[in-house]
Chain A
Amino acid sequence: MCVGVPMQVVSVDGDFAMTEVDGVKREASLMMLDQEVKVGDFVIVHAGFAISKLDEEEAKATLELMREVYSPELMG
């Protein structure tokens, strides 16, 4: 039930954004979001509301760190 899905913002119209993932489009209310969003941003959408912005830099940093530390060839 509380599954939030990362979706990309394709347009913003006042309090609502149209978001998309894998070709599926969904309207999301921005009423609950405390960060600015623009077209191209990723947001977590849950039950018709964008609940949080997805920080791409942080996502990349997490992955990079994991790749550095946990890649099997490096760990021997």
Chain B
Amino acid sequence: MNYSDVFRDKELVQGLAKRIAELTRGRTEPLVFMEVCGTHTNAIYQFGLRSLLPPEVRLISGPGCPVCVTPNSYLDCAVALCRLPDVIIASFGDMLRVPGSSSSLMEERAKGADIRVVYSPLDAVQLAAKNPDKRVVFLGVGFETTAPTIAGSILAAKAQGLSNYFVLASHKTMPQPMAILSADPELQVDGYICPAHVSAIIGADAYRFLCEEYKVPCVVTGFEPTDVLQGVEMLVRQAIAGESKVEIQYSRVVRWEGNAKAQAMLADVFTPFDAPWRGIGVLPGSGLRIADKYAEFDAELAIPVQVEELKEHKGCLCGEILKGKVAPFDCPLFGGKCTPESPVGACMVSSEGTCAAAYKYGR
């Protein structure tokens, strides 16, 4: 079975949209649902799902992309590291174009820094094995989906006895920002489209406290158009019935308890810390840094650098975008000063950033 085709069935998509419209007809207050994964944001724009929904249902984007929520201070540190003559930076591609305070990795590469894009953190470990006279620093960003792959790379480097592999770790975990946004009186969130592959790791049970403490419905959905729409329909039903519970639409991948092995890897290699989020600020216990036990792999400890003074970009509304308070079109720089070719803010860089998706697919 080809999973992407069958879950894009036009008739099913229309049937789902029709059912959502029937359920919400005549509501005076729209129901507002937030997605917190960039892959969902991208799917919603790509398949034009907003245009299929009735005006009574509004979808807003939250802090869904690890690239977007990574603050300038992290990028500045990466830039400082890449200027060292014996350092190779290895990173997922998205990070290269994100502007830091005064430079980006892309600009540094043009000036001669050794920066490699890798598909897997294991490729970065191999790079270290092949370049024993260099220090390879992997840029460890990402949510709970990506963090275990980076934990895996540290375990692999240890098993191979490498002493020249390091991670600049600033991983983020998802449920905390959702709790903060739920408690924000300026935001009305009637339900969450919970991230799919983050949930494959942490399990749907991880959202239960949100339903209990903030009375907000949570549905874990997949990324295909029928997945997202069925998820929205489940949220609509809960909202109308005045319920708030966790449901799994994406049952072909996500289990209540999640992936125990990946969770154990996270608990072994990382330790929670108070992580800074772009636009949101420091959230207690919302990040993962390298545990003391693996300190030898921590780039921050092993390779201290002088980082330039922090500057934010004038006029960029990324912070408000990431909190779901404004839409890309509300930003005066959108499409003019700020485009995917020359991004001012992070949300325009990552292919899954809200501004980039809005630019590519239009309203």
Contact = CB atoms under 8 A, between A and B. Distances in A.
A4 B197 CA distance: 7
A2 B7 CA distance: 20
A10 to B, nearest CB: 16
Nearest to B95: A1
A64 to B, nearest CB: 11
A46 B146 contact: yes
A74 to B, nearest CB: 8
In this complex, the member of A69, A70, A71 whose beta carbon has the largest number of chain B beta carbons within 10 angstroms is A70
A46 B11 contact: no
In this complex, the member of A33, A34, A56 whose beta carbon has the largest number of chain B beta carbons within 10 angstroms is A34
Contacts of A32: 148-149, 152, 259, 261-262, 265
A46 B122 contact: no
A1 B146 contact: yes
A3 B230 contact: no
A62 B149 contact: no
Contacts, number: 135
In this complex, the member of A1, A31, A49, A51 whose beta carbon has the largest number of chain B beta carbons within 10 angstroms is A1
B345 to A, nearest CB: 17
Contacts of A53: 253
B123 interface: yes
Contacts of B210: none
B39 to A, nearest CB: 5
B94 A1 contact: yes
A15 B311 CA distance: 45
B293 interface: no
B12 interface: yes
Interface in A47-76: 47-49, 51-56, 58-63, 66-67, 69-72, 75
Contacts of B149: 32, 46-49, 51
A44 B143 CA distance: 16
A62 B210 CA distance: 25
A51 B3 contact: no
Contact of A1 (B3, B142, B201): B142
A29 interface: yes
Contacts of A63: 6-7
Query: Which DSSP category, helix, strand, loop or mixed, fits chain B's interface?
Result: helix
Contacts of B11: 71-72
In this complex, the member of A31, A46, A66 whose beta carbon has the largest number of chain B beta carbons within 10 angstroms is A66
B350 A52 contact: no
In this complex, the member of B12, B39, B141, B260 whose beta carbon has the largest number of chain A beta carbons within 10 angstroms is B12
B328 interface: no
Interface in A12-45: 29, 31-34, 42, 44
A4 B19 CA distance: 29
Contacts of B195: 2
A63 B249 CA distance: 11
B122 A51 contact: no
A47 B146 CA distance: 7
A72 B349 CA distance: 39
B255 to A, nearest CB: 8
Nearest to A33: B261
A55 B156 CA distance: 28
A31 B262 CA distance: 8
Contacts of B143: 2
10 contacts: A1-B38, A1-B67, A2-B142, A3-B39, A3-B197, A3-B352, A47-B119, A48-B123, A51-B148, A52-B200
Given A2-B197, A4-B200, A34-B259, 16 more contacts: A2-B37, A3-B352, A31-B155, A31-B265, A34-B262, A44-B197, A51-B201, A52-B200, A52-B201, A62-B252, A66-B12, A66-B16, A66-B230, A71-B15, A72-B11, A75-B18
Query: 4 tightest A-B contacts by CB?
Result: A48-B120, A70-B15, A34-B261, A59-B252
Interface of B: 1, 3-4, 6-7, 11-12, 14-16, 18-19, 37-39, 65-67, 92, 94, 119-123, 141-143, 145-146, 148-149, 152, 155-156, 195-198, 200-201, 226, 230, 249, 251-254, 259-262, 265, 350, 352
